[in-house]
Amino acid sequence: MKRIKLFFCLITLVLLPNSAHADAFNQALKSGELRVGVSLSEPWAMKDKEGNFTGFEIQIAEQLAKDMGVQLKLKVVNWEDLINTLVAKQIDIIIAGLAITPSRALHINYSNAYASGGIGIAASIAKTKHKDSLSDLNKPKVTIGVVSNTVSEKLAKRIFNHAQIKSFVKTEDAKNAVIEGKIHALISSSPIPHFLALKHPERIDVPLDKPLLGYKAGMAVNKGEQEFLNYLNAWITARDAEGWLSAKHKFWFESLDWKDENDDTNTNRQY
């Protein structure tokens, strides 16, 4: 009798993960609801003046849910809490421009890349008009602005090791410093340098055609969600091949055509 009970206990333990802990993909299809974690920052995800969600990631999440035949449920999460929220299964997927890195991949599974970005330079025209090369910024009398505790800060300290690195707690303070000519340049995640140049062409210049450091962004799901990954990779491949992804990225990241409806939002996310 004890052997029989032990046998049934072992069977229960084997079957439990498949029944009580259904994978997020099939659970979403069954429930008709896809829970997507986003982090508010223009132009990835934001709210317009009417309080409606809009942005690059929002359009991606909306189309993904539509193609899956489910309702989209957005959950706004602080940037630093996205992965923990996913691991805790409070959301099914992260769609938030999350850079693909080996350290993060230890805790989550990434889809194929669906967007790219990088870290660039926004230079004060007034402060750098006599600077002819990148090496001219690496001087003791030059002040480079960064946001503290970011990859941009680490990169600036490595590349501009002879310049003065001024760290700001808030992105807005860093942006204002370069706009007002208080620092020579700002090292920051895209599209911040590009947007600053578009908004203030008489004050800000983007001296580099390519970022100092590039990265690829992927959607993220929990470990073991292979069926979900298969679908996401197929979805990204199809939407990329037809030009839908590149068209959306161009609209949100290479122009300010969308800005009139979201004039009170800020670009604050840092890689």
Strand 71-76 vs strand 33-38: parallel, antiparallel, or unpaired? parallel
pLDDT score of 243: 97
> Looking at the structure, do residues 35 and 155 belong to the same domain, yes or no?
no
Domain boundaries, position 232 = 31-117+215-262
Q: Is the pLDDT of residue 262 over 90?
A: no
- Whether 10 maps to a domain, the answer reads no
- Whether 178 maps to a domain, the answer reads yes
pLDDT score of 257: 86
pTM of the model: 0.78
Tell me the per-residue pLDDT of 48-75, one tens digit each, with 9 for 90 and over: 889 999 999 999 999 999 999 999 999 9
pLDDT score of 22: 62
- Whether 159 maps to a domain, the answer reads yes
- Number of domains into which the chain is organized: 2
Tell me the per-residue pLDDT of 13-47, one tens digit each, with 9 for 90 and over: 444 444 334 699 999 999 999 999 999 888 999 99
Q: Is the pLDDT of residue 212 over 60?
A: yes
What's the mean per-residue pLDDT of the chain?
88
Q: Which residue has the higher pLDDT, 48 or 142?
A: 142
Q: Which residue has the higher pLDDT, 204 or 260?
A: 204
What is the band of 267 on the pLDDT scale with cuts at 50, 70, 90?
A: low
> Looking at the structure, do residues 50 and 103 belong to the same domain, yes or no?
yes
Tell me the per-residue pLDDT of 3-16, one tens digit each, with 9 for 90 and over: 544 444 444 444 44
CATH number, domain at 199?
Answer: 3.40.190.10
Answer with the one of 213, 230, 245 that is the final residue of a domain: 213
